[in-house]
Amino acid sequence: MKALKYRGAWDVTLDEVPDLHVTGDDDVVVEIAYCGICGTDLGIASGAYPVAVPGTTLGHEASGIVAEIGDAVTGLAVGDRVVINPTPYCGRCRMCRTQRINHCVNKHGTESGVSYDGAYAGRFRTTSGFIHPVPDHVSLRAAALTEPLSCVVAGARKLQPPGLTAHTFVIGAGPLGLLYTWVLSLRGLTPVVVEHSPARLAFARDRLPVGSAVYGSLAEARAKHFGDPDAPLDVVVDTTSHLLEELFPQMAHGGTYMSIGLKEKVAAIDTMLLADRSLSVIGSIDSLHGSFVEALHLITSGRVPAERLVSHVVPLEDYRTGFAALGCDLDARVFGPADQASCKVLVAPGGRHE
């Protein structure tokens, strides 16, 4: 089978590797239909997020068809349509026993597709507890957004907005920005999205929940949406991870600044303001207890229109096109902000077009 391997910064290769098969009683091997490209993948490939283990197959947002199951697996059968939870945890360590499975100390790294072989490949092997059936009425394309949505559900749980009228801003209209907009909307907020790229802004415009809007700058969002250039910033979800230092002094009293981009950036903030204005600065990564199941529920129930956030589907052989659509040009070795009408880009190792 083919597998997209991380070798080092700007060194990603599509290799022929041996097919994966069941080796343990509880193993499940999935033939990958779709695997979403995540900002994490762009960071790894470009060297900006230097956490991946060289030689690892990338890809962690995947759906597919069960190809093989171990003898002890129950409740799953060959041919089942499934989605994969790529974030391993042991359930026994101190982190797992204290509501922090995303920081399990018994996983040797972060997740499949970063520290373990992932799903930009013909097949992926895991154990049955990390496999979730996908109902017939949900496409495998939509199901591939379960993992990023799970991260958003986990992050949204940490946000405690000061009431449903909180002025809520989501910076960036990429997949996480739009998923945060939907999840916060389902919690009763009305997020306003800020996106500098006109192409991305246009893609996002008719994929927003009722009441939400997207603007080309924060200044425009404040002035046009709220009719006040100094409209309070009660909640800011920053998917770029670049704006904390600039926006922190502008946060409204009791406000919350959430930073979720995996980009290295050191920011200085005034700790007197932090206390004096009752501000919160929070981060979030990966899935937490039950968030994967909740995310799948939001997709299967139609509450989050996951498939509409898919902008591109490319065969595995064309992964460079997919990465480039998100601003990561592997040939020119340039990684900048995406300026195409791109949102969630799916790689299709099996050439499926369901």
Residues of the shown chain interacting with Zn ion in the complex, contacts defined by CB under 5 A: 38, 40, 89-90, 93, 96, 104, 106
When the beta carbons of 104 and 324 are compared against Zn ion, the nearer one is 104
When the beta carbons of 215 and 335 are compared against Zn ion, the nearer one is 335
Q: Which two tokens stand for residue 11?
A: 């060194």
Cβ at position 61, least distance to Zn ion in Å: 5
How far is the C-alpha of 281 from the C-alpha of 294, rounded, in Å? 25
Answer for the pair 307, 105: CB distance below 8 angstroms, yes or no: no
When the beta carbons of 104 and 326 are compared against Zn ion, the nearer one is 104
Cβ at position 269, least distance to Zn ion in Å: 27
CA separation, residue 21 to residues 27, 29, 129, 300, 342 (Å): 9, 6, 17, 29, 35
Cβ at position 91, least distance to Zn ion in Å: 6
When the beta carbons of 14 and 262 are compared against Zn ion, the nearer one is 262
When the beta carbons of 84 and 104 are compared against Zn ion, the nearer one is 104
Answer for the pair 68, 29: CB distance below 8 angstroms, yes or no: yes
Q: Which two tokens stand for residue 177?
A: 């920005």
When the beta carbons of 68 and 147 are compared against Zn ion, the nearer one is 147
Cβ at position 257, least distance to Zn ion in Å: 22
Using alpha carbons only, how large is the chain's radius of gyration in Å?
20
Cβ at position 205, least distance to Zn ion in Å: 24
Cβ at position 113, least distance to Zn ion in Å: 8
Answer for the pair 335, 329: CB distance below 8 angstroms, yes or no: yes
Cβ at position 86, least distance to Zn ion in Å: 8
When the beta carbons of 107 and 225 are compared against Zn ion, the nearer one is 107
Answer for the pair 120, 64: CB distance below 8 angstroms, yes or no: no
